[in-house]
Amino acid sequence: MTIQQDGRARVVHAVALWARSHLGLWIVLFTAMVSALVILVSDLIALPGQSGATVSILILILLILLTLSIALPVTGHIIEKNEQAAAATRLCHQQINALLAVGSARHLPRLSKLADDALGATPTRYTMAGEAPYVSRPGPDAAIQHLLATSKPPYPFVIVWGDTKSGKSRTLAEALRVEFLRESNDPVVVLPRNGAALAEISRIGITLPGDGVPAIVLLDELNSADLEALTSEVLDRVTAWAVIAATMTARRRNDVLKSGSEVGATARAALEHRSRQYELSSEPPTGLIKTEAERLYPEERFEGSIAETLVGARELLARYKASRDENPAACAVLRAAIDCRRAGLSRPVLEPELRRLFPSYLSSVRVGLSPTDELLASGVEWAAVPIASQVALLRRANPGHEPRAWNVFDHVVATEDETERENSRPIPSSTWTELLEIISPEDAFGVGFAAYSHGEISVAIAAFRKASTSADQDKAQVAGISAGILLDDQGDVDGASAVYRRVIESGHPDQAPAALVNLGVLLARQGDVAGAQSAYQQAIDSGHRDQASMAQVNLGLLLASQGDTEGAKAAFQRAIESGHPDNGPAAAVNLGNLLAQLGDADGARAAYQRAIDSRHADHSPAAEVVLGTLLAQLGDAGGARAAFRRAIDSGHAEYATMAQLNLGVVLAGQEDHAGARAAYQQVIDMGHQGYVPSAEFNLGNLLVGVGDVVGARAAYQRAIDSGDPENATLAAVNLGNLLRRQDPECARSAYQTAIDGGPPTHAGMAAVGLGNLLIEQDDVRGAAAAYRLAIEYGQAESAPVAAFNLAVLLLKQGDTGSARVALIDAVNSGHPQFAAEAQRLLESLNLPA
């Protein structure tokens, strides 16, 4: 296009937009012009001798004007729409660019163009020289490639995890290259800044090449906050167009899995149910792998892992440990940077933040030094000096930009964060306080999860409260719910309720329904049934994919507790029909339990079978356990054994152990003593503290039955030593009964243990046993006191026995009046045996009731 043509195009563009934006004025002007031209043409035609050519030209001009009167506004409308779309695209690209660590929305990097450090590997002197060959590990390489392999969506979410410097990032990078750089494929790689950035990208949408090859999303060093952003909806959206490849340290993975409460529930679900995982060993190379490593890197001695050796991890750790003596300022800087990472700050630490933390860390390293800017600068400079591997303890994250930002060597962070070590250094309380003051609400989100994992609950609540003010509404509302859960756990019901209601008022499409469910649970626990039911119904009405069906399950449980069995069954059935992969099977188990309580064995079995058929990792083995229990109650010992064995075969951490314990009970009932003993021993060997005391108690009972007093005594004692509130005191009662004649002193001690530490039911039984023992020892006064203690407990099983025994004792002492009172108490108890015995004794002695 020439300059003249371009100028005409700009004029047309401007006029068209003016016509579109001033349509009313345009219509008036053109109507006037056309009207005037029509009159002129009409007058010329009426004039005699008028040239036909002139009239034709005027008619043509009229037609052109009529066309322009319509075409220009329409063109303006099209231009306006195009410009709006272009502006929206530019805005979208700007938003995505801010969420990417590498590349841009228009220029996503290809896998073949990304170096190892861009994919998360720590730069070394070898990568800087462009000579860093990969030492292959056939087993791990093949396993990770298999996890990544896919042919159609949904594509996999793969996590390679292990200790720091086990080579996670480099191994994953090589697996991606082998798996995807074949057959001329070269996928684009999306490198989000963190999990929340990926969630936002998934909502905005990203334009990918239409080559039919899935993109790769890489998330290096996942943490709790990252995973919390990866909801089911986010993962569904992303895995529709990309393979998600991630790395994670063993420590952070453990932090997610051990949390156990609703805080971090989304993170646990993403980790446990949506990802494929591979644990990478950090052991030094051996055999052929070591030979290959030494061939490729002849200057290195591989006494640690390959990655640890190449980055000089041991030398860097030694330098860090020496910093306290060699350069206290550097030690203070490093500790501050390390603790920022440990406290959940996943981004590089800014130098102003280091300056804020520097004084308190310096005083803890060396008393008497003044925390000047010059001393801080010298400490940073010392820590940033690379060793022979060209890796430093501090590495500049933003060369050429201010303020300076620093990454600290991750292996040092892991060493300091090793809580199993007795001399591990805790994060100072002042650091938590300072961080909460200086970080943004967006950063406070990760700090909240880190504080929670460190047991700093008040800090976690404060961090989540600050994060709830974030401009990022996803983070803000997740943080609000997390704060509510922790406040509830701390007993601040009003605070939790207020937080949940704020989240509900936000109208967030995901978190508002979740807050409704949590509020419903809180209100139900407080006895506000109507309020809980209303909250659950609102969550159901939201139609949320996860929370609506969860609310149905909770509503079913609430209605069942209120005796509304029909409403409960309907709620459970709707949750089952939702087809939700988690809540559907959970509802089936609960429906089965309800039907079993109502005596509908066939309905219960069908519901349990539905949960079993779902193959859900948790609910399927749980259904096998309750099905086995139901079948045992129905007398179907064979069916019960089969169900329990299927639950055992699942390997579930809890339900397999529960099934093993129940299997022992069934086998004992069939007098398969050897099988029952083996089952109980298996539970004990599993070491699950929730079930070991029960297994020891049951084993003791079994051994009593076969006459193995020594073995029974040992089993009971182990149950007592467990301190379990139920089984320890029951075992103490049974041990007392076992030893009453063989070892009276030990028996007396066992009874006293149950009396001192057990619930009234068990304490009453122990008091009766102690009374019987003292009678055999001719301690009448002590026996009477023990029986009276059992009566005071008022338990339905033990109090009538104690009253009857006390009456017999008093009659022998000639105290007929007191004996009569005790016998009347036994009669009034209605006990199936001792009420009748007491009545007969009253009648035989002619004592009026």
Structure tokens at 694: 């029960």
Q: What gap in Å lies between CA 543 and CA 565, rounded to an integer?
A: 24
Q: Indicate the residue type of 87.
A: A
Are the C-beta atoms of 217 and 109 separated by less than 8 Å? Answer: no
Q: Which DSSP category does 336 fall into? A: H
Give the bridge partners for 246, in sequence order.
159, 219
CA atoms in the 13 A half-sphere facing the CB of 629: 19
pLDDT recorded at residue 657: 94
How deeply is 15 buried, as exposed, middle or buried, from its count of CB atoms within 10 A (0-12, 13-18, 19+)? Answer: middle
Please count the residues of the chain. Answer: 849
What pLDDT is stored for residue 420 in this prediction? 44
- CB-based burial, 85-120: b 16+ in 10 Å, e otherwise: eeeeeeeebeebeebbeebebeebbbbeebebbbbb
Helix, coil or strand: residue 509: coil
Residue 75's region, left for phi above 0, alpha for psi from -120 to 50, else beta, is: alpha
| pLDDT, mean of residues 432-448 | 94
Is residue 83 scored above 60 in pLDDT? Answer: no
Q: Which helix (H) or strand (E) holds 825?
A: helix 816-829
Does residue 54 carry a pLDDT above 70? Answer: no
Q: Which position has the token pair 């005699």?
A: 48
Contact 32/26 with Cβ under 8 angstroms?
no
Q: Find all residues with CB under 8 Å of 475, minimum gap 6, and list them.
A: 196, 229, 441, 442, 445, 467
**Residue owning tokens 């191994």:** 171
Beta bridge partners of 395: 407
Q: How far apart are the first and last CA of the chain?
A: 120
- 136 exposure class (CB count in 10 Å sphere: 0-12, 13-18, 19+): middle
CA atoms 529, 535, 539, 540: torsion sign: positive
Q: Which two tokens stand for residue 225?
A: 């906050």
Strands annotated E in 48-116: 100-102
For the chain, how are helix, strand and coil distributed in percent, rounded to 5? 70, 5, 25
pLDDT bracket for residue 1 (50, 70, 90): very low
If 0-12 CB within 10 Å is exposed, 13-18 middle and 19+ buried, where does residue 317 land? Answer: middle
pLDDT over 50 (residue 195): yes
Contact between 441 and 433 under an 8 Å Cβ cutoff? The reply is no
The answer to whether 444 touches 463, Cβ cutoff 8 Å, is yes
What is the distance between the alpha carbons of residues 232 and 39, in angstroms, rounded to a whole number? 70
Per-residue tokens: 553 = 């399950």
Mean pLDDT is lowest, of 25-29, 625-629, 741-745, 840-844, for 25-29
> Mean pLDDT, the chain, as a whole number?
88
User: Closest Cα to residue 656, out of 608, 631, 633, 690?
Assistant: 690
Joined together, the tokens standing for residue 354 give 């280091």
User: Which helix (DSSP H) or strand (DSSP E) does residue 515 occupy?
Assistant: helix 511-525
Q: Where are the beta strands (DSSP E) in 337-412?
A: 349-350, 394-396, 405-408
Question: Does the pLDDT value for residue 25 go beyond 70?
Answer: no
H helices, E strands: number in the chain: 42, 9
Query: Does the structure show a pLDDT above 60 at 15?
Result: no
Query: 636-660 pLDDT, tens per residue?
Result: 999 999 999 999 999 998 999 999 9
Check pLDDT > 70 for residue 275. yes
Closest-CA residue to 428 (of 344, 362, 356, 361): 361
Q: How many CA atoms lie within 13 A of 451 on its CB side?
A: 27
Question: Quick check: do 108-296 and 759-849 share a fold?
Answer: no
CA–CA separation, 370 and 286 (whole Å)? 50
107: left (phi over 0), alpha (psi -120 to 50) or beta: beta
| Residue 142 token pair | 């093949």
- How confident is residue 65, by pLDDT bands cut at 50, 70 and 90? low
The tens digit of pLDDT for each residue in 446-488 reads 999 999 988 999 999 999 999 999 998 888 999 999 999 999 9
Say whether pLDDT at 816 is over 90: no
Q: Cβ(806)–Cβ(787) under 8 Å?
A: yes
Higher pLDDT, 742 or 159: 159
Q: What proportion of the chain, given as a percentage, has pLDDT over 70?
A: 88
Nearest-CA neighbor of 702 among 726, 733, 680?
Answer: 680
Helix axes 511-525, 547-561, angle to 10 degrees: 10
Contacts for 195 with CB less than 8 Å, ≥ 6 apart: 219, 222, 225, 226, 227, 228, 229, 230
Burial label, 636 (beta-carbon count in 10 A; 0-12, 13-18, 19+): middle
Q: Which 3 state secondary structure label does DSSP give 580?
A: coil
d(CA 734, CA 490): 38
Which pLDDT tens digit goes with each residue over 668-700? 999 999 999 999 999 999 888 889 999 999 999
Q: Is pLDDT above 80 for 364?
A: yes
Contact 393, 333 (CB under 8 A): no
Higher pLDDT, 55 or 820: 820
pTM: 0.78
Going by the DSSP 8-state scheme, the letter that residue 813 receives in this structure is: T
**Tens digits of per-residue pLDDT, 298-353?**
999 998 899 989 988 899 999 999 999 999 999 999 999 999 999 999 899 999 99
**Which residues, 6+ apart, have CB-to-CB distance to 812 below 8 Å?**
none
Least confident of 57-61, 254-258, 646-650, 651-655: 57-61
Q: Which one, of 118, 95, 113, 115, lies nearest residue 105 by Cα?
A: 95
Q: What is the 3-state secondary structure (H, E, C) of 164-177?
A: CCCCHHHHHHHHHH
* Residue 564 DSSP label: -
- Omega of the bond leading into 621 within 30 degrees of 0 (cis): no
Sequence spans of domains, the chain:
3-98, 108-296, 312-439, 759-849
Distance from CA of residue 461 to its chain's centroid?
A: 17
pLDDT exceeds 60 at position 814 = yes
pLDDT of residue 2: 52
CB 262 within 8 A of CB 554: no
Highest mean pLDDT among 177-181, 499-503, 788-792: 499-503
- pLDDT score at 150: 83
Residue 113 has what DSSP assignment? G
> CA–CA separation, 416 vs 336, rounded Å?
12
Residues 6+ apart with CB under 8 A from 181: 111, 112
Bridge pairing between strands 405-408 and 394-396 = antiparallel
CATH architecture entry for 108-296: 3-Layer(aba) Sandwich (3.40)
- Token pair of 303, please? 């006494």
For residue 720, give every residue at least 6 positions away whose Cβ sits within 8 Å of its Cβ, in sequence order, or none: 728, 731, 732, 735, 750, 753
Contact by Cβ (8 Å): 545, 233: yes
CATH of domain 759-849: 1.25.40.10
Cis peptide before 154 (omega within 30 of 0): yes
Structure tokens at 298: 């002849």
Contact 444, 466 (CB under 8 A): yes
Q: Got the DSSP string for 415-453? A: HHT-TTSTTPPPPPHHHHHHHHHHS-HHHHHHHHHHHHH
